[in-house]
Amino acid sequence: RLTGQQQEINNLIQRKIAVDEENARLKNEFSNLNQKFKDKSQELKDTEECAQKKEEQNRLVIKNLEEENKGLNTCCADLLNDLEKLRKQEAHWKTEKSGNDARIKNLETDLAEAREQMKDLRSICSNLSSQVAVKQEELSQKDCDVIRAKKELQELQNLYRQNIEHTTQQAELIKQLQALNTD
């Protein structure tokens, strides 16, 4: 009978060793996963900061372009006003017509250039809007990554909790074995 109990104790000890090894493996795996989570969190933070900086830069560029556009619109309006004044005064300046004709031609050239610049600025604004849309899409993707990482962490925490419960059961079993051994 004693050898049967000894055999049973030996079996239980072997099982405990196997469970301890599994515990160590799970702890190691948990530690690795936790480190991966930290790395991913830092990567996400860096990406968000980068996206925020780029968004801020884009806002600044758009603001500058809008201000520049406003200035060009004012300049364009001024040029149109000047041109209108010159046309009204044309009757009074017939004696100096050749000089005024050259000036009007210059103003019309300036106006055409200003319109061309406005066209270019509109194109730039359109490109920037597209870039902002792309950045927003990237940000949305990063949000999805964070959600996925949180879900993985939750699963790891559940595994860890189960592991602790398992360890507690083992400790209880060892106590019982020691009590049996003492008896």
The 3-state secondary structure of 120-178 reads HHHHHHHHHHHHHHHHHHHHHHHHHHHHHHHHHHHHHHHHHHHHHHHHHHHHHHHHHHH
**pTM score, whole prediction:** 0.31
Over the stretch 136-179, which tens digit does the pLDDT of each residue have?
999 999 999 999 999 999 999 999 999 999 999 999 999 999 99
* Cβ atoms 12, 177 nearer than 8 A: yes
Nearest CA among 153, 114, 128 for reference residue 59: 128
Domain residue ranges of the chain, discontinuous segments joined by +: 5-181
Over the stretch 46-92, which tens digit does the pLDDT of each residue have?
999 999 999 999 999 999 999 999 999 999 999 999 989 998 887 67
Give the dihedral of Cα atoms 88, 90, 92, 96; nearest 10 deg.
150
* Cβ atoms 164, 62 nearer than 8 A: no
